[in-house]
Chain A
Amino acid sequence: MTGPVGGIVEVSDLSHTFGETMALCGVSLSCIQGEVFTLLGPNGAGKTTLLSILQGYLPVQSGQVTVLGERPSRNNYAMRSRWGTVLQSCALPRLLTVTELMSMYAGYFACSRDPAKLLDQVGLAGSESKRVRQLSGGQQRRLEIALSLIGNPSLLLLDEPTSGLDPEGKRDIWQLLAEERAAGTTILLTTHDMEEAEVLSGRVCVLVAGTIVAMDSPDGIRGNRLSRIIRFSLPEANRVALPHLAADIRKEGNRYRVESRNPTAALHILTGWAQQHGFELLELSVEQPSLEDVYLELLK
């Protein structure tokens, strides 16, 4: 369950409680330079608690944590100048213009990037003179991402950075984050968007109830599953019951979903059954489980 040694973020046996609620239980992980490391998990799994500890807002109650080689602390301003963050909920001064806000944040860092170029990269070119309150929710999210990059960070801590963005906006941001990763920036990301996790992540860590239940590359997590997913639908006139299959069968709308560790045998039975009753298996497909399939299975 542990990652590469000498990481930008090192967490060892970290536990955290809120009163009697265990938010994190023995979490160990490590992110290396230039890696996109994604935390997946249902609401309340402990992702934001972990990010808050890494940022120094919550104390380390038990275990060890280093970020950029230092222990997180509320007053470690030097460390803060080396990271960029996007918080889960958008909080920006609504009365400043986009340019003013970018300049305000740029002034906090000794070495900042060109605000105009960053605004262009996040798709806010042309909105420079607008006040923040005049921006849509998605535009404010783009602005948050631009602000997270203004200090030329070594580490990005992104808590659901693309929530509220339209599909095109998401892809723009994914492209931008991929460029950051290629330039050597380490990215620690939380998301509920499985496609985002697949596209961006070098490694994925699934947290459930404060405990790591899986940690690997997206391919690795999928590859560990031997089962395959067979999907098909039946003609509306069909009234014949499905044959017995040694597999998990579920209905997804009009389609059937069969998860089987022996897909060849399952297909043989299904196609034989269809031929015997004289109808076609419509929209038949056999797929490797997606990250979302595996994630949902891990949550069970």
Chain B
Amino acid sequence: MSDPAMKLVKMTLHQTPYEIRQYWRSPPNAVFAMALPIIFLLLLGSLLATMPIQVEGITRYDQYFVPAIIAFGLIGTTFTNLAMTLSIRRESGLLHRLRTTPLPASALLAALIINSLLVSICLVVIMGLLGVMLFHVAMPRHPLSLLAVLGVAWICFCAMGAAMATVIPSSEAAPGVVNAVFLPVAVASGAFFPISGSSWLGTVMVWLPVRPFVQLCISCFSASSTPSLAPLLVTGIWGIACFALAVRFFRWSPKRN
């Protein structure tokens, strides 16, 4: 491994524990990223678990919403987390302060992304276990595909979070802007209830990144459908495009500077 690459790995490993500490010591992070999807899971599961549905060969709501809420939770721990963390730290001058040190920007970002991975793993495991134990959801029928889908989504939604941070004007605006974008898209993408693919909204959502990801998660759990490559490509293209946007427009200091 080359010297700069070694340094990057070393700095990333150094920075990651501090990012983990900061994340878990912030109550809003724990509430929004971890508790919210679990609350939705318990709430919807308790109220509607046995509701009959007809989507992708699934006939009961509990078989649909557990994988869908897992997708929702992962987006929260990646997209929402990165967009808020980066914009709040930028506007408060924390990123600028770190840029005065020899810590490479890529090491900081890598540490934040690793932290989001660890949080995502915790969330997926907790939600999966709750789904299996409380709502008797079958284990994923395509576990390797599920791992691949979650891995691609993790990277892509982190890139989208970094891109989102570039357009957030202030730290006060961060939660509002992020949730105003994420929550309506999540609802319209079927993260809570099945949506009709033939409606105009359903047609639009197929080309946005959330709907394909939700579909993929559901098909990884389903016995009657197989995950296909096309939705993964849509999410991947969004990820690549947002990565390019984030690299091009990312700011380390508030605009006033």
Contacts and interface: CB of A to CB of B under 8 A. Distances in A.
Interface of A: 52, 55, 57, 74, 77-78, 80-81, 83, 85, 87, 89-93, 95-96, 100, 104-105, 107-109, 131, 151
B101 A105 contact: yes
Contacts of B253: 57
Contacts of B104: 77
Contacts of A57: 96, 99, 253, 257
A81 B93 contact: no
Contact of B25 (A55, A81, A92, A95): A95
B11 A108 contact: yes
B99 A91 contact: no
Given A77-B102, A95-B26, A108-B103, A87 B21 contact: no
13 contacts: A57-B99, A74-B99, A80-B102, A87-B96, A87-B100, A91-B97, A93-B18, A93-B94, A95-B21, A95-B22, A96-B21, A108-B14, A131-B25
A138 B93 CA distance: 18
B15 interface: yes
A81 B102 contact: yes
A81 B100 CA distance: 9
Interface of B: 11, 14-15, 18, 21-22, 25-26, 92-94, 96-97, 99-104, 253, 257
Q: Which 10 A-B pairs have the closest CB atoms?
A: A91-B93, A81-B102, A95-B25, A85-B100, A107-B14, A91-B97, A80-B102, A77-B102, A108-B101, A104-B18
A104 B104 CA distance: 14
A74 B106 CA distance: 13
Nearest to B29: A95
Contacts of A109: 102
A91 B94 contact: yes
A87 B101 CA distance: 12
B15 A104 contact: yes
A83 B101 CA distance: 8
Nearest to A87: B97
Contact of A91 (B15, B18, B25, B96): B96
A92 B104 CA distance: 18
Contacts of B25: 95, 131
Contacts of A92: 94, 97
Nearest to A58: B257
Contact of B102 (A55, A95, A108): A108
A101 B257 CA distance: 25
A81 B7 CA distance: 13
A107 B22 CA distance: 17
Contacts of A74: 99
A90 B14 CA distance: 23
A78 B101 CA distance: 10
Given A92-B94, A109-B102, 14 more contacts: A57-B99, A74-B99, A77-B102, A85-B100, A87-B93, A91-B93, A93-B22, A93-B94, A96-B21, A100-B18, A100-B21, A108-B11, A108-B101, A108-B103
Which residue among B15, B18, B21 has the maximum number of chain A CB atoms within 10 Å of its CB? B18
Contacts of B93: 87, 89-91
Contact of B92 (A77, A91, A95, A108): A91
Which residue among B21, B22, B97 has the maximum number of chain A CB atoms within 10 Å of its CB? B97
